[in-house]
């Protein structure tokens, strides 16, 4: 009876390993494809660290497989091109914004994408794939 219980447990574990949805996304251009919504902002005043509530903001970035992106309420510019090299996201803005290119460091925490612009005190945008 114990043998049957162990076999059922082993089969359950092996069958759950085949599900692609459980695999973490990669910090590559291909791994970012899809729509991501900002859920949190983490930063520092220089004296103390803070973070906003973890909740839906409606601010999204959609990365397309052809290297283009679109944004809703996240950047002043709402479209452009992107690439990822060594966990650095390069975003090229296609609008009249004075900043045409911006670099972000990418990090992953479980199923969350952390995008960090160049901030002296340290700041992070936390995104969740929707």
Instruction: Find out whether 93 and 77 touch, Cβ atoms under 8 Å.
Output: yes
CA distance 77 to 67: 16
Is the pTM higher than 0.85? The answer reads no
Per-residue pLDDT for the chain (130 aa), expressed as one digit of tens each?
554 544 444 444 444 444 444 456 788 888 899 999 999 988 887 788 888 888 888 999 999 999 999 999 888 888 999 999 999 999 998 887 676 888 999 999 888 999 998 877 778 999 999 9
Tokens 């085949």, located at residue? 18
CA distance 114 to 4: 43
Q: What is the DSSP string of 60-128?
A: EEEE-TTSEEEEESSSSS-EEEEEEETTEEEEEE-SS-S--EEEEEEEEETTEEEEE---SS--EEEEE
All domains of the chain, ordered by start, with CATH? 30-129 (2.40.128.280)
């Amino acid at each position: 009876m114990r043998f049957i219980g162990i076999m059922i447990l082993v089969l359950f574990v092996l069958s759950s390993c085949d599900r692609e949805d459980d695999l973490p996304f990669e910090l590559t251009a291909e791994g970012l494809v899809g729509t991501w919504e900002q859920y949190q902002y983490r930063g520092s005043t220089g004296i103390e660290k803070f973070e906003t509530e973890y909740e839906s903001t409606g601010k999204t970035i959609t990365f397309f497989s052809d290297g283009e992106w679109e944004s809703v309420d996240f950047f002043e510019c709402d479209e452009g091109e992107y690439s990822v090299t060594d966990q650095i996201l390069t975003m090229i803005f296609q609008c009249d914004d004075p900043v045409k290119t911006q670099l972000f460091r990418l990090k992953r925490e479980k199923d969350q994408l952390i995008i960090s612009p160049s901030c002296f005190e340290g700041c992070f945008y936390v995104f969740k794939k929707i």
